[in-house]
Structure 1
Amino acid sequence: MLGRKARSVFSSVRKAWLAEAENVARQTLALDPLGVTRYLNLARVLIGGGRYDEAEAALRKAVALQPAAARLHVHLTTIDVLRGNATGALQNAQLEPPGSWRDYALALARQTQSDRAAADAALQKLVNEGSVTGPFQIAAVYGLRNEPDKVFEWLDRAYTERDSGLTQLLVTPFILTYKNDPRFAAFCQKLKLPVPTTVVTKP
């Protein structure tokens, strides 16, 4: 595991990164206040910072502007999962328009339900359609399932396949659960992200 000093530096760097990302997101939103994607980008950053109420408010504005837009209910599902609201997570997942993003939302929501067979089946569907869904999303579901080896296996695949989802690495809570795993530091280094990997001390 990374030592306390390394974790502290990582936390400081990430906070600065989030602050800058939020600033950019708000500036672009101000220039395009009717842009659904602008609200989505802001919500992603806010989710990454644990500011779920603000993120939900941004997403609700986007839904009001364009109810059938893809990816909005995926992120509302994510917020519900993080809040421990299993019922809300499934409801929001079912509101996501049909397609790979809906499959991803359902896979997340199903992990919070008591039906383990349904949870496994939802994940397996993503794995079977990995080229469509994207390996980064599969890694996130494995993160929610507390399967770190699978998380890093699919992150490596995302890197190999140049999955654009990797741009969300530092704002995806189900991945950040493993930020103290040495494999996370090594992966960030491979992506040339501003995350310390050379400071190693005893826990």
Structure 2
Amino acid sequence: MALAPGNADVLRGVASLAGILGRADESIELLRRAVALDPLSSTYRRFLGLRFAIYGRLDEAEAALRASLDLNPKAGLVHCFLAITRLLKDNATEALELAEREVLPDFRLLGTAMALHSLGRAAESDAALTNIIDDHGAAAGYQVAEACAWRGEVDRAFEWLENAYAARDPGLGHSATDPLLKPLHAGARWLPFVQKMGLG
């Protein structure tokens, strides 16, 4: 980074690494700098919003994600991440509305499966989760694990985390700080899994 202090993409990459290593303040500061360097980038604001959400700073997360959408209303991932902030604020109705607007099919199904579960619409949540597995399971094992964890299916979530590990799913780098996986933290399997990932 010292060789390219004015390169927003380098800052974003280092911010992601800092986040994986648990250095929350550093990660957010680097992403703020990336946004300042390229204020018209929807992508950097999306990354910043996700980091805020991961660290429980949900109002700031929503502001950054809304700004990302203002710059690119058709941006992928942003509606799903907004839906997750709504779920973390216990507003499943708005979460479902946002998730249904996500342009990427696997993340649309992730958001809807979780929101429908929170709304008590179990059969519809099951159907959305089945669709993720059938249509995207090979590439979206980590997202399946997130959905299962949110739904309280601990054994199934760990099964899909192991699938993601075998597939070298890049999402696993965020597993130690992922709020959607918190239902797994209390069990005896969590710490060994995180340590296997080199994150413990």
Give the TM-score band, short-chain normalised.
0.7 to 0.9
Q: Which runs of 4+ in 1 moved over 6 A?
A: none
Structure 2: state its 5+ residue gaps.
Answer: 1-19
Offset of 1:176 from its aligned partner? Answer: 2.6
1:106 aligns with 112
Per the alignment, residue 64 of structure 2 pairs with: 58
Q: Name whichever of 181-190 and 143-152 sits farther off.
A: 181-190
- Tell me whether 1:128 sits opposite 2:134 in the alignment: yes
Report what 2:160 is aligned to. Answer: 154
- Give the structure-1-normalised TM-score: 0.82
In angstroms, what is the RMSD of aligned CA positions?
2.0
The range that moved more, 74-83 or 130-139, is 130-139
Instruction: Tell me how far apart the structure 2 counterparts of residues 32 and 164 of structure 1 sit (CA, whole Å).
Output: 25
Q: 1:155 to 1:131 in 2, by over 3 A?
A: same
Q: 2:126 aligns to what SS in structure 1? A: helix
Q: How far has the Cα of 1:160 moved from its partner?
A: 0.5
CA shift for structure 1 position 114: 2.5
Name the SS of the counterpart of 2:175 in structure 1.
helix
Instruction: State the 1:103 CA deviation.
Output: 1.8
Equivalent in the alignment of 1:37: 43
Once the two structures are superposed, residues 54-78 of structure 1 have per-residue CA deviations (whole angstroms, 9 ceiling, x without a partner) of: 0000000001000011000000110
Change in 2 beyond 3 A, CA 1:171/1:30: farther
Secondary structure at the counterpart of residue 119 of structure 2: coil
Instruction: Give, in whole Å, the separation in 2 of the partners of 1:20 and 1:178.
Output: 26
Instruction: Summarize the Cα distance change of 1:43–1:185 in structure 2 as closer, same or farther, 3 Å threshold.
Output: same
TM-score normalised per structure 2 = 0.83
Give the stretch that moved more between structures: 88-97 or 130-139. 130-139
Is the contact between residue 74 and residue 103 of structure 2 (CA under 8 Å) also seen in structure 1?
Answer: yes
Letter in 1 for 2:47: N
- For this pair of structures, how many residues does the alignment match? 182
